[in-house]
Amino acid sequence: MNSSRLALGATLATTFFWTAKAIAIGIAGGLNRSPLESPLFLLGLVCCLVASAATGIAVIRPQTVWGRTLAAAGGLAAGVLVTAAASAVVSAAAPPSPGWVWGELNLWATALTLLAVNLTLLVRRSQSEERPAEVSPAFGA
């Protein structure tokens, strides 16, 4: 399995688990009322960390083990920065007495950002594989 597929699969799993968590909270009537809340969050968090690391590797495409390690660490750092930025934006935009949905928005923003990045990578890679190699005019057509 290559890093692009792993990143996309882990991102889809992250989105699924955190959406299921939000549904469980909504059905239970609020935060800390559903027994599924913590396990779904943790499953989503593990998938998010895997997706961030694999996205870093997929973006950079390093050839060495050290390069992959650094790319994974860079992906994790970028994931943390996206989450922090989403949390800051949500906190700034929240009304005076926000409900539980405002607390979940940063998770959804992180998952959707990862999803957008990985879908963009997938589309770009498929377009570059479909495009035939260009022939240099010096060699004729």
Return the sign of the alpha-carbon dihedral for residues 117, 11, 4, 134.
negative
Predicted model pTM: 0.86
Q: CA of 60: how far to CAs of 34, 83, 109, in Å?
A: 40, 21, 23
- Tell me the two tokens of residue 64: 């060495």
* CB neighbour burial string for 122-136, b if at least 16 within 10 angstroms, e if fewer: eeeeeeeeeeeeeee
pLDDT of 136: 57
Give the pLDDT confidence of 72-111 residue by residue, as tens digits. Answer: 999 999 999 999 999 999 889 988 888 888 888 989 999 9
Distance of CA 124 to the CA centre of its chain: 17
| DSSP structure string for 23-58 | HHHHHHTSTT--TTHHHHHHHHHHHHHHHHHHHHHH
Mean pLDDT by 10 residues, the chain (141 residues): 90 96 94 95 97 96 95 96 93 88 89 94 86 60 50
Nearest 5°: the CA angle 104, 108, 111 is: 140
For the chain, give every domain's residue range.
Answer: 3-127
